Amino acid sequence: MLRIRARSVHPVTAPPIEDGAVLVDAAGRIAAIGPHSQVAAPPEARALEFPDAVLVPGLVNCHTHLELTHLAGKNAEREFAPWIRAIRALKDATTPEEFSRSAEQGVRDCWAAGVTCVADTGSTGAPLEALARLGARGVYYQEVFGPDPTKCGASLSELAAAVRRLRPLATGRARLGVSPHAPYTVSEPLYRATAELARRERLPVAVHLAESREETALVRDGAGPFADALRARGIPVPAHNCTPVQYLLRLGVLQRATGWLCIHCVQVDGPDIESLRNAGAAVALCPRSNRAHGHGTAPLPLFRRAGLAVGFGTDSVVSTGDVDLWSEAGAAGLEGSEALRMLTLDGARALGLDAEIGSLDVGKQADLAVFASTALHRPPLPSTALLTVVAGRVVHG
C-alpha cells in the first residue's frame, strides 16, 4: 500500500483539495482521496509527504516514437520530406539492440517527466517490449508501410507477422495496435487491408493524418515532393481532389466501427472536423513538432467545440528534443487546470482509457505524478517530476 500527502491534490474530476492525500491499495488502485485528515493511514502503507508540491493524475502522452530516443539532436533537417528521408537513413543504421535501449530510455524519460501512459508508434516492436519489460502503461501501434499498391500483400504479411510476434507481449497495461503510417507511405489497398486486419484482430488503429501541406498537395493534387518521390519509384500518383481526411473516408476505413487515433490533424477544415466527429475518431495534437516543421497550428478550439476526444503528444525527440507534455500545453496556449485536464483525463479519453486512468477517483488505477507547487502556472523542466507512480508502483522519484 502507498499513501501520498501533498500541499494540494488535483483529482481533475473534482475541485483541488488543499493539504490532501491519496491512499493506494495493494492492487494498485486508488482506495481513498480527500483532505489529509480524512484519509486513513494504515500502518502497512508506505507514507510519502510533499508539503510544497501538487499531486495530479499521471500525464498521458498521446503520440511518441520511443524507439527514436537515441536520435535526439541527430537530424538538423527541418524541411519535412527531406527530414523524413534522413530519419529513415538513421533508422536503417540502427541495430536492434540500440532500438531496445532507446525505447527503454524513452519510457524512463517519460516517467521522469511525470508521464504514466504513452501512445507510441514504431516499426521495430522495441517500444512494446520495453513497456512490457518495465511494467509500463501504454499502447504501441505497429507501423506498416507500402505506397506501391502492387506490393500490398507483402506489406500486409509483414504486419501480420509482427502482430503475431508481439501479441504475446501485450497485457492489460501494455496494449498492441496497428498504424498504417500516412497517406504518403500507404497505398489505398494497404489502408483497406490494415483496417480489416485491425477489425478482425480487434486492435486499435493510429494514423498520421493531415499533418503537412506536402501531404495535402499529394492527396488533393497529386503534386509536391511526396508525389515526386513516389513517381520516381514508378508508383502512380492520382489526384483525389479532396483533403486527407476525406480521402480516408472515401476509402471506407475511417468509420465509427474502427475508432482511429488521428495524429496531428493540422491541415483540416470544418467538414473534416465534422467527419472526424461522425467517425468517432480521436485526435492527438503535437504543437511543438508542427511548429518545428512549419506545418501550422491545429484548430484545437474547433476540435473541442465539436466534442472530439483530443490529447497532446510530444512526437519524436528528433523533432522536439524531449517528452515534456507541459510544453505542448503551453505551445497550445493552455495553462492551469485547463492544461492539466488536457494532459490527463482528455488524453486518456483520446486513447479510450478514461475509465481506468486520467483522474484521481476511487477505484481507478493509481497512475499519479507529483510536481513542484508552481507546475500548473510555471511549467517545470522536462525531467522534474518529484514522483511518478504507475498502478501503485513508484517508477520515478
SS3 223: coil
Phi first, then psi: what are they for 209, rounded to 5°? Answer: -145, 135
- The amino acid at 317: V
Q: What mean pLDDT is predicted for residues 90-97?
A: 91
What is the predicted pLDDT for the residue at 257?
58
pLDDT in tens, 23-81: 999 999 999 999 999 999 999 999 999 999 999 999 999 999 999 999 887 766 667 88
Who wins on pLDDT, 92 or 128?
A: 128
Residue 160 has pLDDT above 90, yes or no: yes
Longest dimension (CA), the chain: 71
In the block, cell 508552481 appears at: 374
pTM of the full structure: 0.96
> Measured between alpha carbons, how far is 397 from 391 in angstroms, rounded to an integer?
15
Q: Is the predicted pLDDT of residue 1 greater than 90, yes or no?
A: yes
Strands of the chain, DSSP E: 2-9, 17-24, 30-35, 46-57, 59-64, 115-122, 138-144, 174-180, 206-209, 261-264, 282-285, 309-312, 368-372, 387-390, 393-396
216's grid cell? 495535402
Positive or negative, the Cα torsion across 120, 123, 124, 128? positive
**111 DSSP assignment:** H
Can you state the angle between helices 244-251 and 188-201, rounded to 10 degrees? Answer: 60
Cell numbers describing residue 341: 485536464
In tens, the pLDDT along 204-237 reads: 999 999 999 999 999 999 999 999 999 999 999 9
Note the residue count of the chain: 397
Give all domains of the chain, ordered by start, each with its CATH number: 2-57+361-396 (2.30.40.10), 59-350 (3.20.20.140)
Q: Is the dihedral of CA 129, 130, 135, 137 positive or negative?
A: negative
| β pairing state of 46-57 and 30-35 | unpaired
**For residue 284, which of 78, 119, 95 has the smallest C-alpha distance?**
119
